[in-house]
Structure 1
Amino acid sequence: MNFYKKTANALFFSSIDEISEEIWTSLDCEQNLYFHRNFLKSIEKNHPEIKFLYIVLIDKNKKPKAFASIQIINFYFENVQNELKFHLQKLRSFGQKIYLLPKKKPLQLLICGNTFVSGEHGLFIHQHQDKKKSINEMAQAILHFVDLDVSLKIDAFLFKDFINESLSITDELKKYNYHPFLVEPNMVLNLHENWRNFDDYLASMKTKFRVKAKKALQLSAAIKIEEVILRNIETQLPKMTALYQKVATKANFNLGDFNLATYQDLKENFGDQYILKTYWLQGEIVGFMSGLINENSLDAHFVGIDYNLNREHAIYQRMLYDYIEIAIKKNLKTINFGRTASEIKSSVGATPQDLTMYVRHKKSITNRILKLFLQRVQPTSFQQKFPFKN
């Protein structure tokens, strides 16, 4: 799908390579690495099963003012677990009975955002622009583009993932019949200014949680941790991919499978800003962790775990503490741990941050039914831990 299209206030690109240096300079968005051309190109290059679209809104002087990263995927109902799966299965069953949803085909889903990473990584609006107006124009541009390109058979549209502070702007999407809903929260750890090293972090914990942390460190003492570098990444990717698949199958909400070959490009482009470590036991890889240092945050990306050894050697818990130690050493302010395993993440100090998605179905009748089902969807509850002293 090699296309380049243009309307009065928007430019459409099918590849990062089509976007000129002039546009990137005018947008001035690459300080946020999720809008860096090399990050987006790494995702695009390694996921041929996804159709990519990039939209640049332009002002009356033809200057870029906003940017959207769009990914078009085949969405399978089977990729959703727990309560959301229950509601979606009921929706699909009802939709099939009245011939509004296909029986076997996946939904063609257009996503404004990053399929593989939680957070506001789909829409960038220049700081001097009216954000509500830009959201409206982007929603219109997406619908207009789908009408322009007859080869696209889009069933549904999704904008993801917006923090509560953004909702006064993103609720503009309701004008275009998008429905807001919540899935699992992003778990966020705000680092204290007085944490100069990992021992300071441990000292700030209540006795019960400090003992738990030290036990995990003791259980994982036999594990050797290695930096993954470009020279050795190819030989490690097959085992890492197998471990990633074990974790991915447990996720409650999975839009697609991540190709770990992407790590090679991310390490090449971002060096030490992209964190990639493997965990070894008796000469075998038993886990890996990945993450991106973006501005003043460390964002945890995918991990892989040998679950047969996880309890005995506290592999995953050790990874969480390693993220924390890295962030403290780098003098960062926050860690975004992502959506999964909320309770154990809360035990190391993370707190939930709601992320709102907006979805609409192309067919108006189906969209009204979808709204009724989404009103019943709630994030999976978990017991929030409070590990720090008052």
Structure 2
Amino acid sequence: MKNNNKDQLNSSKSENQINRTLHKILDFIRLSLPFILLISGSIMWKFLSPEYSNSIENYIAGLSNNFLAFPIVLVVYCILSLLVFPISILLYGTILTFDFFPGILYAVSGTMAAAVLNYYQGKIFSQKYLHQFLENRKLNDLKVALQTPGLATIIVIRLTPLAPFTIENYLAGAVGVNFRNYALGTFLGLFPSILSIGFITTALKPYIQNPVFYIPIYFAMSSVLLLLVFSVRKAIEGIARYFEQKKIGSTVYTKLDQIDNIQSFFSHKNWLASYLNNLNYGKEGKNYFVKVQSGSNYEVLMLFQLVSIAALDLLKFASSGNVVVRRVIHPLSRFLLKNRKINILINGCPMLTGDLRILGSTGDFNETDITISALKKLKRIVKYDAVIIKDISKPFEKKLPEYKEFQVEPNMVIEIVWKDMKSYIESLRTKYRQRYHSTQKKSSKIEQKKMSFLEIVEHNAEINNLFASVLKSDKFNLENVDQDYFQRASLTPGFTFYGYFIGWQMVAFRTSIVADNEIIAHYVGYDVEINEENRVYLRMLYDYLEEAVQNNYRTLHLGRTALEIKSSIGAVRQEFTLLYNSRNWLFAALGKYFIGKIPATSFIPRSPFK
């Protein structure tokens, strides 16, 4: 049965990969078709007899005096927009045919007619197909932008297009953008571009009488306009950020006791303040607490931690089935990164799963603005090569520029709804109920013992060995766990440490933190061989669950590893997003590439309940 499930999963993944490849091929054909037609037409023109070429020129010249010219233009724009034909080619052609005036009038009218047609198509478009289209082409930025569809948003999208003209129109209709805002925003956003095309094309018209020259001039004009558009966009964004950041001030601390009125930030997270203090005691240069404030509007305390790892260690998390990547890019990367350390500044807590980027706040604030302000301040104080913003639970309202988004394994969570373990066991399906009893029986010779600080110190070497054997299997981790970590962590209120023994030998351990009526499963360690014989790990998961049920905790957080086995006791996935960026060109290029190659664990979620 397990093999059948894996085969189904692999088959589904293979089918999705084939679909994505087909979509890419179809997109390439759609994008190539206009240029193929343009090139073919130019070549044919070169070899046309003067009689035919003159008759075509005369017909085009006579169009401007034809009373049907205006409706013909509208029809051509509408039909070609359905084929996702590049609007820029139509605009150049309209100005070349009808001169600056009435060419501008025809171009604006045709563009608006096509936009309205596509908009209303989007209103009746299949939502499922549309979202699939966006996902396959990574155009979700456009979808997010249109979910707050004010007039200003539409104008900005038209000034700096995020997708082909037709697709923007479809999506505007599909997500329910107000038609008045859409039509007015489209006109105001596109008119400056059409006017620019009109001036440039009219100035160049005497030099492009022969259509053979359309191709290089078209590409040159498009490149200049795109460069101009994106330069203006970057300038506007930069100016806006500059004035916004002038209103925001930041202060950096290395210890919590340096911060005035610290309790106002940790009113609901006293355990976290104690945890960070215990780990940071006597160790400078690892934790940074940045207070960001904007007058009396808000005050925010953010957590940053600096970790240093061998750059080559990042490559071990990446995988690829591509032969070129394995045989060329990976060896080249190893050569470039050999003997190099990378200092990574992490916004969040590397050793705890969850959104702990912001420790506390007062007032309303924008996460993008405060993150930029904090990083700008830290840049003057801390020497780091890259930044990872960890475990974002909700997307930023404004995207952080130049950051690569990625995901690692999800956190597995169980909502506690049982009054005791008996009711939990009764809620299980037969297969999983038998597994529970079988696990208890197989691990019956293993004794669980709650350990004190002194006992943790006594068994410190065994604890670190058991932990190291588990850490090797992690697909992605940035933890630098010191040898005395568990001793320090045990001084945190709500921290518990359970050892598992066969006789006098410690064979496993589990740790947890109780906070806000929730229990957070922390690090575990076990002997791999004994685990295979006695199901130690599964036994520990049941013990976590029993502890949560007996104490009537609201939620049990089981962390990121062993997803399938955790789902078999009732855990469900909780997704987080991470962001990566580097100021070093090498770490930026390689980091963003390999982060995209971090493999997601393939697992089939189990349904253990009746």
Q: TM-score, normalised by structure 1?
A: 0.83
Q: 2:371 corresponds to which residue?
A: 138
Question: The residue matched to 2:510 in structure 1 has which SS?
Answer: strand
Q: 2:276 corresponds to which residue?
A: 40
RMSD over aligned CA atoms reads 2.8
User: 1:302/1:376 Cα in 2 relative to 1: closer, same or farther (>3 Å)?
Assistant: closer
Q: 1:196 corresponds to which residue?
A: 419
Matched, 1:156 2:394: no
Aligned amino acid, residue 43 of structure 1: L
Aligned amino acid, residue 487 of structure 2: Q
* Post-superposition offset of 1:110: 0.6
CA contact (8 A) 1:108 1:156 kept: yes
Question: The residue matched to 1:115 in structure 2 has which SS?
Answer: coil
User: 1:237/1:278 Cα in 2 relative to 1: closer, same or farther (>3 Å)?
Assistant: same
CA distance in 1, matches of 2:557, 2:315: 22
Matched, 1:75 2:309: yes
Instruction: Select the residue among 434, 438, 441 that pairs with 1:215.
Output: 438
* Post-superposition offset of 1:343: 1.0
User: 1:384/1:360 Cα in 2 relative to 1: closer, same or farther (>3 Å)?
Assistant: same
Q: 1:120 corresponds to which residue?
A: 355
Aligned amino acid, residue 435 of structure 2: K
Question: The residue matched to 1:268 in structure 2 has which SS?
Answer: coil
CA contact (8 A) 2:254 2:285 kept: no
* CA-to-aligned-CA distance 1:109-167 (integer Å, 9 cap, x gap): 1101111121111223525322xx24312223213321x23xx442110010122xx11
* Post-superposition offset of 1:378: 4.6
User: 1:33/1:366 Cα in 2 relative to 1: closer, same or farther (>3 Å)?
Assistant: same
Aligned amino acid, residue 368 of structure 2: I
* Post-superposition offset of 1:260: 5.4
* CA-to-aligned-CA distance 1:342-390 (integer Å, 9 cap, x gap): 111111111111111011111468646654554454522112211111x
CA contact (8 A) 1:287 1:303 kept: yes
Instruction: Select the residue among 252, 269, 285 that pairs with 1:12.
Output: 252
Question: The residue matched to 1:323 in structure 2 has which SS?
Answer: helix
Question: The residue matched to 2:435 in structure 1 has which SS?
Answer: helix
Q: 2:408 corresponds to which residue?
A: 183
User: 1:347/1:260 Cα in 2 relative to 1: closer, same or farther (>3 Å)?
Assistant: farther
Alignment of 1:279-358 (within 5 A): 279-358=500-579
Q: 1:252 corresponds to which residue?
A: 475
Q: 2:268 corresponds to which residue?
A: 31
CA contact (8 A) 2:249 2:373 kept: no
Aligned amino acid, residue 267 of structure 1: S
Aligned amino acid, residue 18 of structure 1: Q
User: 1:267/1:366 Cα in 2 relative to 1: closer, same or farther (>3 Å)?
Assistant: closer
User: 1:115/1:366 Cα in 2 relative to 1: closer, same or farther (>3 Å)?
Assistant: closer
Aligned amino acid, residue 342 of structure 1: L
Q: 2:346 corresponds to which residue?
A: 111
User: 1:180/1:137 Cα in 2 relative to 1: closer, same or farther (>3 Å)?
Assistant: same
Higher helix share: 2
CA contact (8 A) 2:307 2:480 kept: no
CA distance in 2, matches of 1:199, 1:50: 49
* CA-to-aligned-CA distance 1:204-261 (integer Å, 9 cap, x gap): 1100011001100011111111111124221122211111111111111121232353
CA contact (8 A) 1:198 1:328 kept: yes
* CA-to-aligned-CA distance 1:53-77 (integer Å, 9 cap, x gap): 110112314x971111111111335
Q: Which moved more, 1:304-313 or 1:357-366?
A: 357-366
User: 1:360/1:18 Cα in 2 relative to 1: closer, same or farther (>3 Å)?
Assistant: same
Q: 2:486 corresponds to which residue?
A: 263
Aligned amino acid, residue 129 of structure 1: D
CA distance in 1, matches of 2:437, 2:449: 21
CA contact (8 A) 1:139 1:176 kept: no
Aligned amino acid, residue 25 of structure 1: Q
User: 1:366/1:310 Cα in 2 relative to 1: closer, same or farther (>3 Å)?
Assistant: closer
Matched, 1:58 2:304: no
Q: Which moved more, 1:259-268 or 1:206-215?
A: 259-268
* Post-superposition offset of 1:45: 2.9
* CA-to-aligned-CA distance 1:247-305 (integer Å, 9 cap, x gap): 111111121232353333433341xx212100010211111000111112211110110
Q: 1:3 corresponds to which residue?
A: none
Question: The residue matched to 1:184 in structure 2 has which SS?
Answer: coil
* CA-to-aligned-CA distance 1:303-340 (integer Å, 9 cap, x gap): 11011111221111110000000001111121111111
Structure 1 vs Structure 2: percent identity of aligned residues? 24
* Post-superposition offset of 1:19: 2.4
Matched, 1:380 2:569: no
CA contact (8 A) 2:310 2:339 kept: no
User: 1:246/1:365 Cα in 2 relative to 1: closer, same or farther (>3 Å)?
Assistant: closer
CA distance in 1, matches of 2:464, 2:390: 26
* Post-superposition offset of 1:96: 7.2
CA distance in 2, matches of 1:49, 1:256: 17
Question: The residue matched to 1:257 in structure 2 has which SS?
Answer: coil
Larger relative contact order (CA 8 Å, sep ≥ 6): 1
**Any gaps of 5 or more consecutive residues in structure 2?**
1-246
CA contact (8 A) 1:187 1:353 kept: yes
* Post-superposition offset of 1:81: 7.9
